[in-house]
């Protein structure tokens, strides 16, 4: 295997004592190839650091998901560097090519279409291969849709869990949500606009409809929008007018009182057997059993599925 740092003259130079403890990124890349993970704007082109611009101007080549998309950013900042495509369909073969170039002393910047590389974007194979070949991997931090959305969401931010994209199929999506049902941190997902309604319907089915959610749309872009409310209410609005653009979905932790009620130690309504409570609601509101069960489930912080199971159990025991 070739050495990640070329020998000869460069080895001799690197052995000389440095005049200070300071060292710039460009000085490091003179001695051996380096992989830079450069965060790019998630919408507004001004959201990029001076360091990121400098690195993109200094590297030998830039690996990107969509060369046409990245070219818009580079043209804006008058950066002219060779581009190579690196995406989910070619990363298996492209990663060794880039590592070989870096072993020969080239510096490479990896960018995604928006935000930090590897965060729900390609790059994992390249980073792990570079580390295995002892090539320095340097993060150049910057914009992140999940952090930007979380900061402005109004939901608890001291602890959160980023899940990435939910599965596209309903069954798989519900199973993924089921694993998160008792998670007591704010949940953050990325979601496609054409699937947001279906995703929220599954959230209601598995997590219940009473939680607060935020749908952050087109964050940092011209039509940035934050839609806030309880899941069921927000779902009704989205059914009328489906949103467009990039979406970050945030779900608040379950209400502690609801969890307490689920454990059987809640208010007087929760102390009543579920079957009896469903009958009470049906009589009080003049609704059918299905609608009454939905109300009773919301009172107790249960999903409709859980409430239905409990209803069958209480009826069997009666």
- Of 26, 27, 93, whose CA–CA distance to 63 is shortest? 93
Q: For the chain, how many residues are written? A: 318
Q: Locate the DSSP E strands across the chain.
A: 34-38, 61-64, 83-85, 107-111, 137-140, 160-165, 186-191, 212-217, 225-230, 247-251
Assign residue 172 the CATH number of its domain.
3.30.950.10
User: What CATH number should be reported for the domain holding residue 82?
Assistant: 3.40.1010.10
Domain boundary among 143, 159, 180: 143
Q: Residues 222-228: what's their mean pLDDT?
A: 94
> Of 100, 128, 143, which marks where a domain is finished?
143
Q: Check if the beta carbon of residue 39 is closer than 8 Å to that of residue 143.
A: yes
Q: Say how many C-beta atoms besides its own lie within 10 A of residue 304's C-beta.
A: 18
In a domain, residue 6? The reply is no
| pLDDT level of residue 14 (50, 70, 90 thresholds) | very low
Whether residue 49 is contained in a domain is answered as yes
Q: Does position 3 have pLDDT exceeding 90, yes or no? A: no
pLDDT band for 242, please (50, 70, 90 cuts): confident
Looking at the structure, tell me whether residues 121 and 177 fall in a common domain.
Answer: no
Q: Tell which wins on pLDDT, 289 or 47.
A: 47
283 is in which domain, residue-wise? Answer: 257-317
Checking if the pLDDT of 24 tops 70, the result is no
- For residue 186, the Cα-to-chain-centroid distance in whole angstroms is 12
Of the listed ranges 134-143, 164-173, 261-270, 305-314, the one predicted with least confidence: 261-270
Q: Does residue 1 form part of some domain?
A: no
Please tell me which residue, 262 or 87, carries the higher pLDDT value.
Answer: 87
Least confident segment among 162-171, 281-290, 303-312: 303-312
Lowest mean pLDDT segment, chosen from 35-49, 85-99, 233-247, 282-296:
282-296
102: in domain:
yes
Q: Are 213 and 154 within one domain?
A: yes
Do 116 and 25 lie in one domain? The reply is: yes
My answer on whether 124 and 192 are in the same domain is no
If asked whether residues 120 and 38 sit together in one domain, one would say yes
At which of 143, 160, 188 does a domain end? Answer: 143
Based on the structure, what is the number of domains in the chain? 3
Q: Is there a contact between 206 and 175 (Cβ–Cβ < 8 Å)?
A: no
Residues 171 and 220 reside in one and the same domain: yes
pTM value?
A: 0.72
What is residue 1's predicted lDDT score, i.e. its pLDDT? 43
Q: What is the mean pLDDT of residues 267-286?
A: 72
Query: Would you say residue 171 lies in a domain?
Result: yes
Domain contains 8: no
User: Considering the domain boundaries, does residue 2 fall inside one?
Assistant: no
Both 28 and 88 in one domain: the answer is yes
Residues 21 and 119 in one domain: yes
| Residue 282 is assigned to a structural domain of this protein | yes
Calpha distance 153→113 (Å, rounded): 24
- Alpha-carbon gap, residue 83 to 289, rounded angstroms: 62
Please give the C-alpha separations between residue 136 and each of 95, 105, 127, 226, 251, in angstroms, as whole numbers. Answer: 15, 11, 9, 39, 37
Which has more confidence, 56 or 20? 56
pLDDT for 55: 97
């Amino acid at each position: 295997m070739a050495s990640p740092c070329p020998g000869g003259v460069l080895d001799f130079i690197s052995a000389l004592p440095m005049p200070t403890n300071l060292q710039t990124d460009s000085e490091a890349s003179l001695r051996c190839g380096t992989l830079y993970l450069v965060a790019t704007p998630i919408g507004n082109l001004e959201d990029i650091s001076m360091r990121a611009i400098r690195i993109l101007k200094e590297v030998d080549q830039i690996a990107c998901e969509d060369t046409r998309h990245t070219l818009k950013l580079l043209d804006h900042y008058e950066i002219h560097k060779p581009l190579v495509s690196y995406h989910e369909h070619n990363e298996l073969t492209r990663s060794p090519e880039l590592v070989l170039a870096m072993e020969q002393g080239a510096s490479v910047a990896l960018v995604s279409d928006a935000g930090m590389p590897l965060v729900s974007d390609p790059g994992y194979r390249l980073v792990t291969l570079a580390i295995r070949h002892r090539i320095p991997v340097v993060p150049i931090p910057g914009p992140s849709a999940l952090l930007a959305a979380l900061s402005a969401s109004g939901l608890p931010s001291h602890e959160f869990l980023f899940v990435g994209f939910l599965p596209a199929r309903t069954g798989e999506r519900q199973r993924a949500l089921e694993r998160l049902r008792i998670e007591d941190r704010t949940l953050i997902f990325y979601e496609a606009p054409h699937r947001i309604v279906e995703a929220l319907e599954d959230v209601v089915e598995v997590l219940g409809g009473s939680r607060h959610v935020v749908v952050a749309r087109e964050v940092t872009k011209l039509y940035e929008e934050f839609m806030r409310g309880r899941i069921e209410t927000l779902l009704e609005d989205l059914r009328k007018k489906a949103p467009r653009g990039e979406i970050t979905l945030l779900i608040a932790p379950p209400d502690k009182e609801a969890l307490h009620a689920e454990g059987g130690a809640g208010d007087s309504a929760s102390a009543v057997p579920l079957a009896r409570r469903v009958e009470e609601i049906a009589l009080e509101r003049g609704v059918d059993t299905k609608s009454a069960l939905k109300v009773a489930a919301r009172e107790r912080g249960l999903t409709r599925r859980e409430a239905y199971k409990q209803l069958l159990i209480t009826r069997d025991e009666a």
